[in-house]
Structure 1
Amino acid sequence: MNTMQEFGTIAQRVREHAAQAPRRIALIDNERVLDYGALDALMDRIAASLQQGGLKPGDAIAVCAASSVNYAAVFLGALRAGIAVAPLAPGSTPASLARMIDDAEARVLFVDTGAAEVIGAPVEGSIPRIALDGSKAGRSLDEWLAPVGAQPEAVEVQPSSPFNIIYSSGTTGEPKGIVQGHGMRWAHVQRGAKYGYGPGTVTLLSTPLYSNTTLVVFFPTLAFGGCVVLMPKFDALGYLQLAEQHRVTHTMLVPVQYQRLMAHPRFDAHDLSSFRFKFSTSAPFNAALKADVLERWPGGLIEFYGMTEGGGTCILEAHLHPGKLHTVGCPAEGSDIRLIDEEAREIPRANIEQAGEVVGHSAGMMTGYHRQPAKTREAEWFDATGKRFIRTGDVGRFDADGFLTLFDRKKDMIISGGFNIYPSDLEAVLRGHAAVADTAVVGVPSEQWGETPVAFVVRREGDGTTEDALLQWVNAQLGKTQRLAHLHFIDELPRSAIGKVLKRELRELVGR
């Protein structure tokens, strides 16, 4: 199984591995081990239960929980029934989670204790809740499951069929659900052979299953018959111990995790010789940190650059190109990456001195933003032939060798600890306080998180609210991954002649 057909489903690949090697381990968490035979049977029971509940292909479920074997099995079982999965971040606010569940039109909600505490008690008319951890957060998963041996009705899945809905919005306004099709996920699987995935693969994942960062490695591992070790919460020493214990071969980490691992005083005391490939994505990866990883951590280092929306990927095989660590690599096979100027005109590749917004096309592209055709159109760019590209909002430039260097993000998204934070969401919350006349949020460098959000506030005349009081108030309204590191009062926000807030000047104020 080292080669891939043009299109297939991950659920079917699990079935094939279960038939060939039913006792091979598929999933491990801190409480449970599941082999392929048991995983395949559990997926059947989950798919059958969903069908018995009236769900049909194209319907959706939501999952809001920490990573676990049961979480993974529910995700896979839903896919077997042709049902899309909306994995939601437990760190979001209750209001944000409610909006996302509603936007996804989820028919069932799978939770654990921690997530249920955030979401709150169900109200009349709420969708059914199933507790993944056997708690009182909902109906027990074991009780909800169809009987042992149950077989779901076979469904036909097309490349365009919805696979999952990944939410990238924050706490206010319309949630933005990125609909990814089965074809997009299969494109991720197809490149797996190049990176050594196979039955002997052991992948350690400490990023959450609701993150696209995790899923781009999780699914290829299982599609090639490997084992996934799920770490519900990252800590550097615990990660190193698991890596050594399980003889891990593959992993996905965001840059801030690499930073914490490399800085741990016991890093070099652990045997990491089993590693074949390490991956990174989601945030800027410092060249010096890449060099340190290459020097001290066995195995190749691969950086993926792209968006959850898809539209093409750049790949830096850092171990093969040590002189290009300042870049995010070259376009992946099948990815058409181009640059456009401010007027959305294509910049010829020969103009290597000219930077532009990065746009991309590939087989791995979102169908669109769920129920938001206008936002979908805003994210698209079409070349002269009508070929569809996804706009990244990032500004970059190709060098003479075809490697892409990124300079800045046109969109002011902040990436903190691998999580996307949208300043407009935080600004909207701040404007809900009576003391706030005007505000802007920017991302500033952070050794701990990579970036962290800082707010500047113009206070209403005569208001006596203090900076500390306002900071505590707004952080209580935000999800824990969004909270402000600092808040500063300012007499007036710097603006351009056309009224645009000059956020670069605000960032410079933080550094003074």
Structure 2
Amino acid sequence: MNIAHILLKAHKLHPERAAVSIGSKTLYNYRSFYERVRYLAASMTAELSLNVGDRVAIAMPNHPEYLVIRYAAWFAGLSVVPINAKLHTLEINYMLEHSGSKVCFISSKLQREGDFQNSAKVEVVDVDSDEYQDMVNPGQEIDMVEVQPDALAWLFYTSGTTGKPKGVMITHHNMLIGAMSYLVDVDNISAADSIIHAAPISHGSGFYDLPHVMRCANQVIPAGGQFDPSEVLGLIQDWDGVTMFLAPTMIKRLVQSQESSQCSLRGLKTVVYGGGPMYVEDIKRALDVLGPCFVQIYGQGESPMTITVLSKTVINNTSHERYEKRLASVGMAQSSVSVTIFGDDGLPATKGAIGEVLVKGAVVARGYWNDDAATRATWKDGWLHTGDIGFFDEDGFLTLIDRSKDLIISGGSNIYPREIEEVLVAHPSVNEVACVGQFSEEWGESVVAFVVLEHQCLADERDLDEFCLSRIARFKRPKYYHFVDSLPKNNYGKVLKTDLRQLLSIKPLN
């Protein structure tokens, strides 16, 4: 099987339908998209001398050719290595070298802004060059290469917040099951719908390319190549049946922009969110401003977008007696996986008991690229150990408490930062917050809250302390509050708590 078969089928079913658009303009229909993919696949084998199984990297911002390159690579039996274009040159070169990529596709935008220096000894092709244009022009043709279901399709490098990034091996079968899971568990798609790739295609948004191609829908690349709230609100008015995958931090910015602009949302169908904690107060505000369009997913690079889902039906069922608790959860297990909780004793936990989240299923990756030790440490007895801490309620809804590495132990008691953050973010003066542990000779660790205030809002430690004491146990409240202009985030919008802990190790608060 080859995941590129879904494009071949779409081309045959609806050749004239819009396939790839830039801003408000259709660039390729499914006929021209497929032909461009086929010509590039032939050039990859003939001109770039790539063989079945070779790795092809894409290190550029969202661009229409991103989609062409990855389908062409799959068509030719190659594996794709997606690299976030905002990474540092050293990080990009590490991934190129570690993956053994033979070719790296970039855009001139990356060359100008990222000062990309190729030290990995790979051939670099600029999609904005005449060379690339020659490669996609009509010429040689090849048949689609058939590959085994467990052949590597997508070598995704983790964010590397705890060390060097690891290459997660996603197979053609993994990707097919993941796409089908979207249609079963997340949302339905029609050929009249569109997905706006406002978040990086190198990450979750790119994974949702697949079910939209399966349904012959349109894929829209913002003209700016990245997330801009005002541009996204404009595109929602230009296209119908709009879906987006956004990180919670992006949704906050979109909500703020819509509150001030009051744009028409007639084209908005679905916003899928994930990739970081969405606090209850934030999703309530988003529902008020953007309407009943939200679906939450929980996944990891090792089980991309496919562990649990909190459906529109649940999110919009405000009359349910456990509505608030369900809104704070990440939903129920998706159909393609089994999810369980294991306690510290290595045994399945009872309902309501806190432990590590484990997952297995046909969508879960097969391991890490060239890292047997890390693979053995993460996959045990068929289960993927996620490193996330949570519990199931009586109805099967999973609530995540924190990453195991973020747990704070103070005076022998376990303190979960997410619980404190949920409280603090409900304060009207707080925009963002992140809690971490700081070494304490007396308690082992003390809780430190890094706080970003709303614009022109005033609050001090006393205000926040009183707010916490009215809502959580005294021992859980932060010992210190550190007010900052912004929180450090990676290129996908996740807060980098490792950076905050490192800051405290250099300059502790007292």
Fold equivalence (TM over 0.5): yes
Is the alpha carbon distance of 1:237 and 1:222 closer, same or farther for their aligned partners in structure 2, counting shifts above 3 Å?
A: same
d(CA) in 2 for partners of 1:161, 1:230:
29
- Secondary structure, in 3 states, of the residue corresponding to 2:244? strand
CA separation of 1:89 and 1:344: change in aligned 2, threshold 3 A: same
Tell me by how many angstroms 1:17 deviates: 1.9
1:281 Cα shift? Answer: 1.1
Which amino acid counterpart does residue 191 of structure 1 have in structure 2?
S
Q: 1:485 to 1:82 in 2, by over 3 A?
A: same
- Equivalent residues in 2 for 1:242-261 (5 A)? 242-261=235-254
- Indicate the residue corresponding to 2:133 in structure 1: 142
Separation in structure 1 between the aligned mates of residue 258 and residue 144 of structure 2, nearest angstrom: 52
- 8 Å contact 2:18–2:26 — kept in the other structure? no
Q: 1:101 to 1:295 in 2, by over 3 A?
A: same
Q: 1:299: Cα distance to partner?
A: 4.7
1:326 aligns with 2:324: no
Q: CA deviation at 1:292?
A: 2.8
CA drift of 1:357 comes to: 0.3
More displaced, 392-401 or 110-119? 110-119
CA distance in 2, matches of 1:10, 1:192: 15
| Pair 1:377-2:370 in alignment | no
Aligned-partner SS, 2:390: strand
- TM superposition shift of 1:329: 0.4
Q: Name the aligned partner's letter for residue 334 of structure 2.
A: A
Whether the aligned pair in 2 keeps the contact of 1:91 and 1:480 (CA below 8 Å) is no
1:432 is aligned to: none
- 1:370 partner letter: W
Deviation at 1:343, TM superposition (A): 3.4
Once the 2 structures are TM-superposed, how far is the Cα of residue 198 of structure 1 from its aligned partner?
2.3
State the match for 1:307 in structure 2.
300
How far is 1:62 from its partner?
Answer: 0.6
Distance 1:25 1:393 in 2: 41
Aligned pairs for 1:166-245 within 5 A: 166-170=156-160, 174-194=164-184, 195-211=187-203, 213-231=204-222, 232-245=225-238
- 1:27 equivalent among 16, 20, 31: 20
Distance 1:106 1:405 in 2: 39
Aligned to 2:421: none
CA RMSD of aligned residues (A): 3.3
Structure 1 CA distance, aligned partners of 2:177 and 2:156?
17
Distance in 1 between the 2:218 and 2:357 partners? 35
Change in CA separation of 1:270 and 1:248 when aligned onto 2, cut-off 3 Å: farther
Task: Note closer, same or farther for the CA distance 1:162–1:300 as it changes in structure 2 (3 Å cut).
Answer: same
How far 1:277 moved relative to its partner? Answer: 2.2
Give the number of equivalent residue pairs: 424
Contact 2:248/2:276 (8 A) holds in 1: yes
Match of 1:94 among 89, 93, 97: 89
The amino acid of 2:362's aligned partner reads A
Between 313-322 and 67-76, report the one with greater CA deviation.
313-322
The equivalent residue for 2:394 is 400
Q: Which amino acid aligns with 2:108?
A: T
Instruction: Give the drift of 1:170.
Output: 3.6
Please tell me whether residue 67 in structure 1 is matched to residue 62 in structure 2.
yes
How far residue 353 of structure 1 moved from its aligned partner, in angstroms, is: 3.1
Please show how residues 272-311 of structure 1 align to structure 2 within 5 Å.
Answer: 272-310=265-303
1:163 equivalent in structure 2: 153
Task: Give me the whole-angstrom Cα distance separating, in 1, the residues matched to 2:313 and 2:261.
Answer: 19
Partner-residue secondary structure (3-state), 2:97: helix
* Contact 2:77/2:146 (8 A) holds in 1: yes
Give the secondary-structure state (helix, strand or coil) at the position aligned to 1:369: coil
Offset, 1:44 = 0.5
- Which secondary structure state, in structure 2, belongs to the residue aligned with residue 110 of structure 1? strand
On the 8 A contact 2:156/2:168 being kept in 1, the answer is yes
The question of whether the paired residues in 1 share the 8 Å contact of 2:2 and 2:145 is answered with no
State the 1:266 CA deviation: 4.5
Partner SS state of residue 277, structure 1: strand
- Report the CA distance shift for 1:156/1:445 in structure 2 as closer, same or farther (over 3 A): farther
3-state secondary structure, aligned to 1:264: helix
1:340 to 342, 350, 353: 342
Distance 1:59 1:105 in 2: 8
Other structure's SS at 1:151 match: coil
Gaps of 5+ in 2: 318-322, 408-416, 419-435, 437-447, 455-487
Task: Report the AA paired with residue 157 of structure 1.
Answer: V
- Could you give the per-residue CA deviations for residues 403-440 of structure 1, whole angstroms, max 9, x where no partner exists? 0111111134999xxxxxxx9xxxxxxxxxxxxxxxxx
Contact 1:294–1:319 at 8 Å: present in 2 too? Answer: no
TM-score by length of 2: 0.75
Asked if the contact 1:334/1:362 (under 8 Å) is kept, the reply is: yes
1:50 has 2:50 as partner: no
**Does structure 1 residue 38 correspond to structure 2 residue 32?**
yes
Task: Tell me how far apart the structure 1 counterparts of residues 52 and 364 of structure 2 sit (CA, whole Å).
Answer: 20
1:262 to 255, 259, 268: 255
Measured after TM superposition, the shift of residue 241 of structure 1 is 0.7
Aligned position for 2:441: none
Tell me what 2:72 maps to: 77
Q: Give the drift of 1:300.
A: 3.5
Aligned counterparts of 2:295 and 2:162: Cα–Cα separation in 1: 35
* Matched AA of 1:328: V
Shift in CA distance, 319/289, structure 1 to aligned 2, threshold 3 Å: farther
